[in-house]
Structure 1
Amino acid sequence: MPLHPEIATIVANLPAPPEGPIDPAFLRADEESHVAAPADRLPLHAVDDAVAAAPSGDVPVRIYTPAEADSYGVIVYFHGGAFFLGSLDTHDHVARALAKETGCRVISVGYRLAPEHRFPAGLTDCYGVVRWVSEHGRDLNRDGTTLAVAGDSSGGTFAAAVAAMAHDDGFTAITHQVLYYPSLDLDFDEDRYASLRENATGYGLETAGLKPFNAFYLDSGADPADPLVSPIKREDLSGLPAALVITAEYDPLRDEGELYGRRLTEAGVEARISRYAGANHGFVANFGWIPEYHAAFTETRAFLAPVTAGATGAGQR
């Protein structure tokens, strides 16, 4: 199907990017200026700011409790933003929707950003918070079942990398990984995946912008050949947690996400690949108010539910 008409209208009216070098401070301020006022956000039972004492140091987190209950499954969520953008506030609405729809307690991670912090600072923060959640399960009223990692775009990179780090450390508490249009291969040669050419222009995220936007991360010491930077380069995917890989039809990163899902299945990992028709990169964060794309949250709920967590397959939306 064509690009969803509501998305197409907004994409057609996006302002031209500013000329000259990318200014992280300017883009961060612009993002923050669009954050909804607290009174306009999706209400939940409780939203609390806290600090996770991780091995890398204190990491700010925001804890979203959807409703009062004796115990909860937990999702540790990593926001997107090409490793240099995004915050607890800019992705607050995603974490709220994720908590509301899944019934899980969501822990959103305010990890350190490039270029101010060199690789692997942000990744280390994310992994440290997952370990902290596991160690403080009683304090968080964790139910002892679901402990998922989830992320959108570059946050999906971190979710996949954290799942791999945990496996290699013998840390088996992570039960699921949820990857929303993840960036899994930071080698941006457009001949590597057909979607880098097919969706190169006109859909919001453009292929030509991938290198400059990710340069802050790569220049901070992240090597695209490192499987912790490009998780698709990991040779052995066996033993990783069950995965839900959600992709967008009109996303340059579509094919690498779907290839990763297929490779997981080939390695014996329970995986579901779900492509959303008419959607572009960022649709979960930017267009979750459109009912057919809000379905990504309800699909996540079904994936995490104990009765369906073992389901494997591929879907189209």
Structure 2
Amino acid sequence: AEVLLKLLIALDELYFDDLIEDLLVAFFKQGAQWIRENFVYVYKISLQHHKFTQLSEYVDDIIQYEPEVLLHSREFVELEESELLPILDRDNFCVEDEAEIWDRIIEWGCAQQNSHLSTDPSEWSGEDIESMKLTLKNFIPLVRFFTMSSDKFYKHVRPYEKILGNICEQVLQSYLIKGWQPRDIRVLPRRNKASRANSKLLNNRQIREIYKKIYSKKPKKSRFIEDAYTMVLLEPTQYETFCVDPTVIVFRIVELDIVIGGYNPFKTKYSLISHSPTFKSKLEYSFMFKIDDEKIKFSSIVGTKEFKLQY
């Protein structure tokens, strides 16, 4: 896997763009475990090489659905501030325990000091306290302190009150007075619990690609997969019931080990006699796709009476 990644970097630097996509598919298949074991390194590569779109999306899925891979990485403290802040700002960076995020931020901050400061605040000098305040000033507003339980806050956060300003006092007030809201601190919502797409045919990256094709723009870093769309396993007789509005149909051809599907953006009318569907749509808005070896390929639909696949 490491050799494949180095080859990908070389291809990008030599502008062999047409080879990158196929090699990335091989990298994902062969290097799933290696990617997780070296996640910080792979994350940095995904930020440095903008042509590695699939790699960026692969990394993004791990951050969203397996946040512990990043949080427990030995190289976590090697992240640059500019690389770490966007992750902590995400609502869908859903670590179960916010106190664990705070612990890692403290470790990161200590590692940035010249003397590799101890995480025990009782050992800090006045100079150390001021240095940590400066180092973590952009991180502290991103921590969801108000979502922590009182015992977690008391154990993990309160020892660092000297670098937190009036945050400790405000959080303690929220525990004592029901419904109390601070006036001078932005209270961030609880992080969203992410779940993978409920489909055995498509993974999240493939669903995102279809979503991008439908809306012709890159989707926001959102929870659209788990909140906005539902994957339903249909029996042949159920098509008429479910597929009346804009619909994506996906099915697997077992003999060929490929997945094919298509998108109809308009309502479907059914014949009262044959119950066969009549698609009332402009064909240029429709498309079909094929997924072979995890790689998704789209095709236009042309003509008015027949479908012609353009692979």
TM-score by length of 1: 0.25
Higher helix share: 2
Higher strand share: 1
TM-score by length of 2: 0.26
Determine which structure has more spread, i.e. the larger CA radius of gyration. Answer: 2
Q: Which has the higher contact order (CA 8 A, sep 6+)?
A: 1
